[in-house]
């Protein structure tokens, strides 16, 4: 089996490396030559375009920033659609709008090419160690074919429904993460302003109902003043834009998401867009003229 991998950024590069380590033959494409050279040094072939990568592959992965880039790479000039063989399987691991996933899938189906959406959660650290969580939208047969490949890059691979369901699930994930980090920041800021050590509050609540993966991952970093990504504010803004757009399209009210989106927009206006989404704490600190620290 020959695998094409298009998009060798923060997530795509370690994901593709894990496929190489698992023994798969890869052909890769990225706009950055240095990223392709890094994979070539591990034995991957390099393609001049998405079309050329697709021509050589049975399965084609994409990991790209957002809906417009995925549409361009798959449906655009010299895109995957022009090179993919009938029966090929395209797996988009980007986080994009669910309706765009369905649009792309319909276009590929016209040429006999299969498509599934399989966005991920876990960020760069889990991409590196191969423990990502994949949320998949696909028919059962395509899922069965894709699952062994996804398991080389992830610890959790869950079929969420038909095409588009993966990205709906990822949007739900991003709501929970954003609101959770905001709540953690708000709670620790309250402790700091009330004269109680935030670290003591964290230690006291983490084992109870208030405990969460977001609390455990972000509270220590916030208290240590470490806001290097991680998952950048500007990427979470992108995801929340897709959340709100999808909510409007399907008639789902999302007031908490909208509130956290405005916090993130404020952080971007203050020049913090490249910081980790744990920098939501900085929004509260600015309002309260206080600092959350150990």
The DSSP-derived string for 118-156 is --EESHHHHHHHT-EEEEEE--HHHHHHHHHHHTTTEEE
Residue in 84, 75, 78 with CA at minimum distance from that of residue 103: 75
Contact criterion met (CB below 8 Å) for 60 and 90? yes
What total of structural domains would you count in the chain? 2
Per residue in 85-96, pLDDT (tens digit) is 999 999 999 999
The average pLDDT across 12-40 equals 98
Q: What are the DSSP calls for 263-274, one per residue?
A: HHHHHHHTT-TT
Residues 22, 148 within the same domain? yes
Per residue in 262-275, pLDDT (tens digit) is 999 999 999 999 99
Q: What share of the chain has pLDDT > 70, as a percent?
A: 100
Token pair in block for residue 159? 């079929």
Q: What share of the chain has pLDDT > 90, as a percent?
A: 98
Instruction: Cite the active site residues.
Output: 170
Contact criterion met (CB below 8 Å) for 184 and 190? no
Whole-angstrom Cα distance, residue 15 to residue 12? 5
- Is 76 contained in some domain? yes
Burial 60-89 (b: 16+ CB within 10 A, else e): bbbbbebbebbbebbbbeebbbbbbeeebb
Residues 155, 219 within the same domain? no
Whether the per-residue pLDDT at 230 is higher than 90: the answer is: no
- Is 269 contained in some domain? yes
Per residue in 149-162, pLDDT (tens digit) is 999 999 999 999 99
Task: Supply the mean pLDDT for the chain.
Answer: 97
* Length of the chain as a residue count: 294
**CB-count exposure of residue 248 (10 Å: 0-12, 13-18, 19+):** exposed
**Owning domain of residue 208:** 168-288
Q: In 3-state terms, what secondary structure has residue 61?
A: strand
Residues 15, 117 within the same domain? yes
Residues 135, 224 within the same domain? no
Residues 124, 74 within the same domain? yes
Structure confidence at residue 123 (pLDDT): 86
- Is 293 contained in some domain? no
Residues 282, 212 within the same domain? yes
Per residue in 165-189, pLDDT (tens digit) is 999 999 999 999 999 999 999 999 9
Structure confidence at residue 163 (pLDDT): 98
Residues 118, 219 within the same domain? no
Residues 172, 258 within the same domain? yes
Per residue in 121-153, pLDDT (tens digit) is 988 889 999 999 999 999 999 999 999 999 999
The average pLDDT across 52-63 equals 98
Residues 188, 281 within the same domain? yes
CATH number for the domain including 122? 3.40.50.720
Cα within 13 Å of Cα(198), Cβ side: 24
DSSP class of 278: G
Domain boundary among 161, 182, 200: 161
Name the pTM for this structure.
0.92
The average pLDDT across 86-107 equals 97
Domain boundary among 161, 196, 220: 161
Per residue in 5-20, pLDDT (tens digit) is 999 999 999 999 999 9
Domain boundary among 161, 187, 206: 161
Structure confidence at residue 229 (pLDDT): 86
Contact criterion met (CB below 8 Å) for 63 and 26? no
Residues 199, 242 within the same domain? yes
Residues 139, 223 within the same domain? no
CATH number for the domain including 177? 1.10.1040.10
Token pair in block for residue 107? 């276009």
Contact criterion met (CB below 8 Å) for 275 and 233? yes
- Which pLDDT band holds residue 31 (cuts at 50, 70, 90)? very high
């Amino acid at each position: 089996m020959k695998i094409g991998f298009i998009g060798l950024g923060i997530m795509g590069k370690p994901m593709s490396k894990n496929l190489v380590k698992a023994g798969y033959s890869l052909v890769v494409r990225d706009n950055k030559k240095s990223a392709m050279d890094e994979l070539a040094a591990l034995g991957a072939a390099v393609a001049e375009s998405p079309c050329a990568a697709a021509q050589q592959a049975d399965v084609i992965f994409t990991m790209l920033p957002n809906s417009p880039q995925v549409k361009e790479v798959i449906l655009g000039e010299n895109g995957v659609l022009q090179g993919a063989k009938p029966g090929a399987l395209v797996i988009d691991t980007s986080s994009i709008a669910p309706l765009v996933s369905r649009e792309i899938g319909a276009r590929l189906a016209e040429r006999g090419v299969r498509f599934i959406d399989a966005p991920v959660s876990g960020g760069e650290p889990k991409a590196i160690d191969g423990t990502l969580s994949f949320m998949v939208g696909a028919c059962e047969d395509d899922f069965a074919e894709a699952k062994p490949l996804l398991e080389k890059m992830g610890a959790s691979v869950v079929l969420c429904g038909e095409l588009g369901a993966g990205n709906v699930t990822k949007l739900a994930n991003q709501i929970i993460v954003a609101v959770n980090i905001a709540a953690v920041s708000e709670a620790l800021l309250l402790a700091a302003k009330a004269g109680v050590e935030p670290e003591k509050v964290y230690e006291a609540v983490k084992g109870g109902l208030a405990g969460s993966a977001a609390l455990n991952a972000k509270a220590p970093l916030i208290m240590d003043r470490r806001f290097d990504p991680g998952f950048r504010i500007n990427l979470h803004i992108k995801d929340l834009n897709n959340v709100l757009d999808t909510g409007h399209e399907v008639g789902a009210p999302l007031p908490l998401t909208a509130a956290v989106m405005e916090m993130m927009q404020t952080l971007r206006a203050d020049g913090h867009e490249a910081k980790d989404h744990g920098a939501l704490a900085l929004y509260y600190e600015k309002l309260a003229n206080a600092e959350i620290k150990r």
